[in-house]
Structure 1
């Protein structure tokens, strides 16, 4: 089939790799003039690495494997620590941290020439019984058998096909960066999460001395976007190495994004279209699953479109019906986790390591189609 993909982000590149591997003719149309390499790091959990492997993409050589996940309070009290090595053994696929730009580059490099088209902003979609037409801002158009909207939280495809309300803000925002660091944490394999009363912080080694760091705080439209100097004041006295990190970065290192959440619809497209990723289920980063759920979408949609003797509309609706329960579950968990971040920390009990590890395994399994339906094999560390 001729498949048109709108958006050359994580989802668009992932589904293109999957469908090309199944013999489909795929064209990706991106509104920007080049691949978008902004953003910091992405934690690709066991479900995400399994999905990528199923799509024919191996990011482990370019990524950094994580061995443990540790959470403490702003006073330094240990809440829990999960053994990600054991999670890998139980689920059959590792957790890898990778710069977003590297993930994009790895997936783009796997595509044959002529698949990517830049400077093509989608402005209209017209579906017919046996084909779909996409119109672009430059006056050109493209015709295909199927259309996949992978164009993010402000998806034009979603607006054109489904209408409805845009994603809503959650009342939180992140200040984050990806910087080279001499801090010991940057050269290890342990993620550190720090939970405060009104703020959260995370530090994740990303390989090669790079450290992905983020600060989450309550924020609503109209509130100021804080500077590094203001972050230093707010997070003074937090556990090591927060103050040392903030002393080493500048405003030029600082990225900012408000958290949002989409209502996940029952149906994700029309007779010749569907959606994946943030276009259909944008969610706050509280459980670090947004990119992983996008990869899950791409993997499952590839499986359904491997069937060649069924009506395309039936395949698209079957994909959505199969995928929606787990995408919705993860979206709700992310929203609930974000909302509960103001829970007084004295109510949070310490979890033993075995229970934290088991909880991590259960959480990843419950929100994953690829771990439920596939049997990925563990690669050597």
Structure 2
């Protein structure tokens, strides 16, 4: 195996996950983050069975730090039960649990698992140049870094994607979320059940996150130029919704409220150049409707680690093979998220279909069942090119 100098741009979930995987494989990894410290913003992350399985393969166990979810319940805005999924059954069938964890905690645990000299803060990537035998990353402070390979994990506004792939930026979907992560005395915060409530033109959800923390969100149609609602305005919009919606909104303030518009990327056929590739939101940003964005990022990191575990010379064939494997499944999940976001009154994750839906779109789960991915990784080496 050839040891590579790998430059990872972005110290979010994807950048830290791939760094853990590649350090474990013996590569020399450096992670560059534009912020001055690890980012602690965001609310909770639902790490489904595919995500926890990927993390385990990367050497990270989040179960002690998060809240295992045992059921998923969906109601209409009038309180009628739509469906309920037994996540214990999913855990048993797929071999990994669903865990809710604060985003900041997941980031901290991924970072703590890395050697101290891997992370570099205050380094904003402004350009990437590939050469036949190396790649150079330029930073806003005038410095640069040289490596054998660059991985763009720099989110929906990825500079790496812009320079090596091009194309249009992520586009808004017409929806947005108002969300938070707060301490709560509500019974739902002490349980193990996700509650989703769907109306014709609005949606909300509540997820226990452990230690009395409750992750909550409110989704509404929104486009650029529309006002960003306050808690008082959310109380008016969601007045009369099933409990504990009104009780929750009565307990939070504008200081607890985070806002983000939903966006979606066109997923390109090729994700990089001869010495570059992408993962996570840099390549397939999607609406949060099926809570799979972070999980798909973790699957990217896991699969790319597998392909780069045995590099012999030119990495390009391995990069293109990784992209060929990931693109069809990431694209299916992105499409499902977009469809679910647009049809909020008809959620897709029915009880009978949920375990199969998750398993058939997961490379990690496919490996567990001995399917195509395992054969691809253990037989003949992939060839250059994208079909």
Q: TM-score, normalised by structure 2?
A: 0.93
Q: What's the counterpart of residue 187 of structure 1? A: 190
Is there any run of 5+ residues in structure 2 with no aligned partner, and where?
371-387
What whole-Å deviation, never above 9, does each CA across 1:23-70 have from its counterpart, x for those lacking one? 111000000000011000000000000000001111111111000000
Match for residue 229 of structure 2 among 209, 226, 230: 226
| Aligned partner of residue 63 in structure 2, secondary structure | coil
| Aligned partner of residue 358 in structure 1, secondary structure | coil
Q: CA deviation at 1:310?
A: 5.5
| Aligned partner of residue 173 in structure 1, secondary structure | strand
What whole-Å deviation, never above 9, does each CA across 1:70-105 have from its counterpart, x for those lacking one? 000000000000000000000000000000000000
Counterpart contact for 2:47–2:100, Cα < 8 Å: yes
What whole-Å deviation, never above 9, does each CA across 1:315-371 have from its counterpart, x for those lacking one? 100100111000000001101111112x5x7xx8xx9xxx93331101111221111
Match for residue 363 of structure 1 among 357, 361, 369: 357
Q: CA deviation at 1:287?
A: 0.5
Match for residue 100 of structure 2 among 97, 102, 121: 97
Matched, 1:132 2:170: no
Distance 2:343 2:352 in 1: 21
Q: What's the counterpart of residue 289 of structure 1? A: 292
Q: How does 1:171-182 map to 2 (within 5 A)?
A: 171-182=174-185
Q: What's the counterpart of residue 6 of structure 2? A: 3
Distance 1:307 1:135 in 2: 28
What whole-Å deviation, never above 9, does each CA across 1:177-213 have from its counterpart, x for those lacking one? 0000000000000000000111000000000000000
Distance 2:86 2:323 in 1: 33
Match for residue 321 of structure 2 among 318, 324, 327: 318
Q: TM-score, normalised by structure 1?
A: 0.95
Distance 1:375 1:7 in 2: 32
RMSD of aligned C-alpha atoms?
Answer: 1.4
Q: What's the counterpart of residue 77 of structure 1? A: 80
Match for residue 336 of structure 2 among 323, 330, 333: 333
| Aligned partner of residue 289 in structure 2, secondary structure | helix
Q: CA deviation at 1:374?
A: 3.4
Distance 2:60 2:165 in 1: 31
Distance 1:356 1:332 in 2: 17
Q: CA deviation at 1:158?
A: 0.4
| Aligned partner of residue 268 in structure 1, secondary structure | coil
Distance 2:133 2:343 in 1: 47
Is there any run of 5+ residues in structure 1 with no aligned partner, and where?
377-381
Q: How does 1:1-381 map to 2 (within 5 A)?
A: 1-309=4-312, 311-341=314-344, 343=345, 356-374=350-368
Distance 2:205 2:352 in 1: 21
Counterpart contact for 1:84–1:357, Cα < 8 Å: no
| Aligned partner of residue 350 in structure 2, secondary structure | helix
Aligned length: 367
Counterpart contact for 1:4–1:26, Cα < 8 Å: yes
Counterpart contact for 1:60–1:96, Cα < 8 Å: yes
Distance 1:65 1:331 in 2: 25
Deviation >4 Å, runs of 4+:
none
Distance 1:282 1:367 in 2: 16
Distance 1:358 1:111 in 2: 40
Which one scores higher on RCO, CA 8 angstroms, separation ≥ 6? 1
